[in-house]
Chain A
Amino acid sequence: MSKPNFKHLNLRHPYLLALGLLIVAVLVNAYLQPNLFEGRVLNSNLRTFLPLMILAVGQTIVIIAGGIDLSVGAMVSLTSAVLVTNMQPDSPPGHILLVILLALGVGMAAGALNGLAVAFLRLQPIVTTYATSFIFAGLALWVLPRPGGVMPIEFARAYRRTMPLGLPLGFYVAALIILIWVFLRRTRFGNYLFAVGGQPASAYATGVPVNLIRFSTYVIMGLMAAFSALALTLMTSSGDPRMGDAMTLDSIVAVVLGGTRLSGGQGGVAGSIMGVIILGLIRNIISFANVPTWWQTLVDALIIIVALAAPGAVRLLRRRLTT
């Protein structure tokens, strides 16, 4: 009897594992770094996690609808290159806004190319977005051949220092994203996302515009990549045509850690946000726990792999115990 109940539970709370991991990570981190909850530390942590958080949210939406996007890192590089090459250290607010809009547009256009290829040309998402990642990476190099460029100084400083009500900006962004998601989840579009990822043929027979939904998820992803690039570029204050490279795979790992099913149709954004924080905290912990430098990568990877394997291990144990 406990088996169907567990399944039920798991289905409704895909975040459960992520939440558990998050709590453990926070506790360990707080033990090793007692000032973790001080405003300044919190701000700097959240600011560091924010770009990946935004990216992982986009990735979650694509994955729930049955796709995957391996070009996200390149899209971040491209949009950040667009940002820094068009900004001046003393750009007036109007100009800043215009450049940001331009970057968002570039991101969406890049996403639309992915969407077009996957949804309408029906190409396999993994290789397609891998192929387009070269296109975006090439464009990034073309826009910004070598690291450099600037962000408006005042704007970047304001971004770093603003802490409304004593809470870091990143907190508000994360909260806003979750609110938008909660709203989206209860719209027709939200239902369509899950239907398209869960059983595309059934969704089609029910009249869901499957291709349009798939397309739109990639456009949303492009937009999120541009926002992510903005957060990243404001933090570093300069650009690098390869700055997003490492983020692609992290974004996928965060989504999976957050309990979203990689094959689509199940999951949510809150889990992915937790997944990003878990990843970040693991790295904090490793550096504060005085893990010898050469061991850090291995420990990091081992923790991640154990976390990824945990649900399967639990399932295996349960089966052993019941039969």
Chain B
Amino acid sequence: MSKLRLSPPLIALLLAVALFFLGGLLAPGFVNLAQAINIIRLSAFLGIISAGQTLVIISGGEGIDLSIGAIVTLSAILVFRIVDGQNSMVLPALAVALLAGTAFGALNGLGVTALGVPPLVMTLGMAGVVQGSILVLTQGQLVGKTAPIMPKLISHPLILGVPGVVVIWGLVGLGMWLLLERTVYGKRLFAVGVNRTTSRLSGVRVPRTVLLTYALSGLLSALGGFMLLGFTQSVFLNLGERYLFPSVAAVVVGGTVLAGGKGSYWGTMSGALVLTLIGSLLTAVQLPEAARQIILGATLLVLLSAYGRQRSLRQ
């Protein structure tokens, strides 16, 4: 079993388990099945939203997607409006939301590949455009309604007490594993992330791969927005915003290298669990907001020091 080395994703997963039981020590009643399911359910939203971020970061070239939060919001608002309480409109609404997310993601990809804009500012600028589009679209009026079927399928227990979103998260996990490890795209994505010259000289069309990655990130963010709406059942203008930086953090905590070319989605899933647990734990022990933020930041720093270090100039 040489594969069971203490890899970063495994560390993150072990940390999540440890945090859960630490929760039991600090806050009586923290450790039970219902709570575990609840934590996983909460993690699922962050996990799904972080899926696209994982792809973009693996693609390297300083890749990062800061438009994720805005696209999550846009998707939720679109679905909220189009569905307007009717079960029959859920699928069409989802399709429109996914299409919109993909389109904005593809624009990011075009800016990064064809125009050479650094991903950080390109996606940041796109976040503004998406946010602006939301305002134009809604004129500040957040009208609409979720369909009854959405909470039923997403946040309520679906099979054996497991909420639908957790099942869907599992499917997303499986899909992401297939995508990364068992498709030509995945293999090329890692290659592009490690070394673009080698990739090109091995016949990989680098810009196309990168463009597709940003488009996928938009698509997955839109899916995340749909899921989130099923949970919150209402929308507001910065619904997705608070998931933006946690999405980067979940990817990094899960051991995906920010420089690109190395990483996994199950690492990101573990990372989402860790972040959600830290959040719930800090809430459970009733620390003030200030202390919660400091501890969250410090934990991130410690995790980074554990395996996020870069090569020294001197060997």
By the criterion CB–CB under 8 Å, are A127 and B300 in contact?
A: yes
Confirm or deny: A158 has a beta carbon within 8 angstroms of a beta carbon on chain B: no
Whether B158 is near chain A, meaning CB under 8 Å from some CB there, is no
A299 interface residue per 8 A CB criterion: yes
- A315 and B116 contact, CB distance less than 8 A: yes
Residues of A230-284 at the interface with B, using a CB-CB cut-off of 8 Å, are 249, 252-253, 256, 262-263
**Of the residues B131, B252, B304, contact of A301 by C-beta under 8 Å:** B131
| Cβ of A183 under 8 Å from chain B | no
Residue B83 interfacial (CB < 8 Å): no
For residue A6, CB closer than 8 A to chain B, the reply is no
Majority-rule SS of B interface residues: helix
Q: Is the CB of A135 within 8 A of B313?
A: no
Interface string of B273-310 (1 = CB under 8 A from A): 00000000000000011111111111011001100111
Q: Which of A16-24, A25-33, A89-97, A306-314 contacts B (4 or more CB under 8 A)?
A: A306-314
| In the bound complex, CA of A312 to CA of B112 (Å) | 9
Digitize B244-284: 1 where CB-to-A-CB distance is under 8 Å, 0 elsewhere.
01001100100000110000000000000000000000000
| B17 nearest CB across to chain A (Å) | 22
Identify B128's interface contact among A134, A201, A300, CB under 8 A: A300
Of all chain A residues, the one with the shortest Cβ separation from B116 is A312
In Å, the complex CA distance between A126 and B124 comes to 14
Any chain B CB within 8 A of the CB of A302?
A: yes
Bound CA–CA A241/B315 (angstroms):
43
Q: Is B16 an interface residue (CB 8 A)?
A: no
Closest to B252 in A: A127
| Residue among A126, A204, A294 with the highest chain B CB neighbour number at 10 A | A294
Q: Are A253 and B125 in contact (CB under 8 A)?
A: yes
B140 near A: Cβ within 8 Å? yes
Chain A residues with Cβ below 8 Å from B131 are 297-298, 301
Residues A263 and B62 in contact in the complex (CB < 8 Å), given A124-B310, A309-B111: yes
Interface status of A137 (Cβ within 8 A of chain B):
yes
Interface residues of B in 180-234 (CB under 8 A from A): none
Is B290's CB under 8 angstroms from A122's CB?
no
Chain A residues contacting B245 (CB-CB under 8 Å) are 130
Report chain A residues within 8 Å CB of B292: 138
Given contacts A139-B290, A294-B140, contact A124 B304 (CB under 8 A): yes
Chain B's closest residue to A142 (CB) is: B290
Most buried by A among B131, B133, B294: B294
Of the candidates A133, A262, A297, A304, the one having the most CB atoms from chain B within 10 angstroms of its own CB is A297
Q: Which of A116-173 contact B (CB under 8 A)?
A: 117, 121-124, 126-128, 130-142, 145
Q: Within the complex, what minimum Cβ distance (angstroms) separates A210 from chain B? A: 6
A256-B118 contact, Cβ under 8 Å, with A123-B304, A123-B309, A141-B290: yes
| CB <8 Å contact, B313 and A200 | yes
Q: Are B120 and A312 in contact (CB under 8 A)?
A: no
Question: How far is B295's CA from A139's CA once the two chains are assembled, in angstroms?
Answer: 11
* CB contact under 8 A between A300 and B258, given known A121-B309, A131-B301, A253-B125: no
B136 at the interface (CB under 8 A from A): yes
Asked if A138 and B300 sit within 8 Å, CB to CB, the answer is no
Cross-interface CB contact of A135 among B64, B117, B248, B294, cutoff 8 Å: B294
CB contacts (< 8 Å) of A175 on chain B: these are none
5 more A-B contacts (CB under 8 A) besides A128-B308, A301-B132?
Answer: A126-B258, A128-B301, A131-B300, A141-B290, A249-B66
Q: Can you list 19 A-B contacts (CB < 8 A)?
A: A117-B304, A123-B304, A127-B304, A131-B298, A134-B296, A135-B297, A136-B297, A138-B291, A139-B290, A201-B313, A204-B313, A295-B135, A298-B129, A298-B131, A298-B132, A301-B129, A301-B132, A305-B122, A308-B117
